[in-house]
Structures are given as structure tokens and as C-alpha cells.
Amino acid sequence: MKVAFVGKGGSGKTTLSSLFVRHLAGVGLPVVAVDADINQHMGTALGLPEGLAAPALGDHLPALKEYLRGDNPRISSAAAMVKTTPPGAGSRLLRLHGPDPFHTEYALALQPGLSLLATGPFTDDDLGVACYHSKTGAVELYLNHLVDGPGEYVVVDMTAGADTFASGLFTRFDVMFLVAEPTRKGVSVYRQYTEYARDYDVAIKVVGNKVHDEEDVAYLREHVGEDLLTWFGHSPAVRAIEQGRPGAALEDAGVAALDVLRKAVDERVKDWPKYLEQAAEFHRRNARSWANRAVGEDLEAQIDPGFAFPG
């Protein structure tokens, strides 16, 4: 299952995505954590010592594309593969923790069943539609080619802002958790995201964070209604866990909220044909708006109408 944590800067995406990752991995579930934020903090949040980081996927795009295209005749070269190029006959598909370069070369194993992928740090210039070597492109390609099943989790710590919506990356997730503080800014991001996602069947669930009291909950509920899934209080344990204090553990209420997140993910039913259809739609859009020009080919021809994901 593919899960993203989104929200405004400082809302708690890294904190909650990392807690969620630990929560799943702690009971032995297979998890790949993906740091796709401009500033890379997820490794540290997952307990990596300072100075140790997963290799930057964004620095290895040509090799990754070369691997993924396999012998797909519709993709003439790695250079002709853009971030939205969907898999087709001959493409190499990925399995969680499978024998492919994403998982064997670039993922950093944190503990059995848990590894970390990272885009590497990037700048605003790397974002947006006009960039076909974009760092988040590596994540988009990864998600597009990954055949995951129930009980397997990819948890992506996303960058704040709307880039996710420009490329179609937001349709790659089974669930998007929108981390929102009970503030005007927090809920305005919610409004913006639901507006973008309106025409797509994307599950956006609001996760309140740094909630102090019932009035905060009421505020969130008033502004996001039924989309409010659960919330986290302002937690002293978060700081203790961050500092790596021995014996630091999340409060019971936080653990219960993490269980709610897991349940929300586990309830989602995959629709692979739709997944592929939306990939094709955004690829078409990308091809027309910049990629055909950038590559000098008709990239819409990369879409393989006969292709289906193995069930």
C-alpha cells in the first residue's frame, strides 16, 4: 500500500510519517520509508546517526530508468523515459524489498523488513512540471512500477506545497494523510488539496497534529468535516524520541491514533486498472505540455494500451 504524508511546512509530516513507519515495522510488517522532502530529515527521524544517509535516488536516474525500461520497445532509451512514463510490456516491475536496484543498491536497510529510500536534497528549481530530471521523479517512477500488496507499505514523507499535484504524483497513493494543525493555515492547505484532487478518486484523510484540547478538535471538524480521521496531541514523547532518549515511547493516545492510520490504509482496496489509467492520463498531459519537446519524441506512444499489472 502506498501512503503519503503531506501538509504545510512544519505541520509534522516527518514526525508522523516516521512514527507510522516505526509503528508498522515494530510489528514486523514490511515497510519502505521514502524521504521525498526538499530537506531530508526522515533518516534522522528514523534513528539514523548524523552523517549517515540513504544514497540519493535523484543522482541515479539514468541507471534507474535503464533498469525499469527493461526491453519495453515503446521506450527508445533511458533518456526518453520521463517521470510519468508508465510501465508497459517489457518494463521491469518492482516488488517491495525485491531484487532490483531500488531495494538492493539504493535502499538503506534500517532493520529487518524496514528500509529507507531518499530522493536526496533538492531545490525549488527541481520541482514543477518543466523538469524532467526532477528529484521526485525517481519516486514517481518507483511508485509507478511497484506492484505492492496488502500488508506491504511504502510511506512517503512529501515536500510541503503543491508540486505533488502538478505531476500527478498524488494519484499514486492509496491514501494521502494530510497533516494539519488546528490553525487557519493548516485547514487552508486542506482546502487547496481537496480542490486539486477533486476530479480524481484520491483518498485524502486529515490527521490533526499538535492538538491541545477539544476546541482544537472542534475547529478541525468544523473545517474538514468527515475527512478528519484522527489526531495527535502535542506530545512530550515526540521530543524524547527525537533526541533518542532511551526508553522513550509514544503515549497510548498516539499509539491508538497510529492504529487508526493503519486501519485506514488497510481498508483501501486497490484498483490497478484505474492506477494505470491515471498514470497514462498524466503522462499524456506531461508529454503535451513539455516532455515531447524536451525529449524530441512523441512520448504518448510510450503508453501501452494492452498492458495490465499482474493482479
Ligand X SMILES: Nc1ncnc2c1ncn2[C@@H]1O[C@H](COP(=O)(O)OP(=O)(O)OP(=O)(O)O)[C@@H](O)[C@H]1O
Residue numbers at the binding site for ligand X (CB under 6 A): 7, 9-15, 37, 160, 209-210, 232, 234-235, 238-239, 242
What's 95's DSSP letter?
-
Q: Which is nearer to Mg ion, 48 or 129 (CB)?
A: 48
Q: Which is nearer to Mg ion, 37 or 140 (CB)?
A: 37
Rounded alpha-carbon distances, angstroms, from residue 22 to 142, 145, 251: 22, 25, 14
Q: How far is CA 115 from the centre of its chain?
A: 14
Q: In terms of Cα–Cα distance, which of 118, 137, 116, 117 is closest to 127?
A: 137
Spatial separation of the C-alpha atoms in residues 105 and 307, rounded to whole Å: 28
Question: Out of Mg ion, ligand X, none, which partner does residue 287 contact, by CB within 5 to 8 A per kind?
Answer: none
- For binding to Mg ion (CB under 5 A), which residues are involved? 13-14, 37, 41
How near is the Cβ of 309 to ligand X at its closest, in Å?
A: 31
Sign, CA torsion 74/80/81/83:
negative
How near is the Cβ of 159 to ligand X at its closest, in Å?
A: 7
Spatial separation of the C-alpha atoms in residues 295 and 139, rounded to whole Å: 20
Q: Which is nearer to ligand X, 41 or 285 (CB)?
A: 41
HSE, side-chain direction, 13 A CA sphere, residue 14: 21
Q: Which is nearer to Mg ion, 148 or 157 (CB)?
A: 157
Are 163 and 175 a contacting pair, CB within 8 Å? no
Q: Which is nearer to ligand X, 38 or 131 (CB)?
A: 38
Question: Out of Mg ion, ligand X, none, which partner does residue 97 contact, by CB within 5 to 8 A per kind?
Answer: none
Question: Out of Mg ion, ligand X, none, which partner does residue 12 contact, by CB within 5 to 8 A per kind?
Answer: ligand X
Question: Out of Mg ion, ligand X, none, which partner does residue 11 contact, by CB within 5 to 8 A per kind?
Answer: ligand X
Question: Out of ligand X, Mg ion, none, which partner does residue 209 contact, by CB within 5 to 8 A per kind?
Answer: ligand X
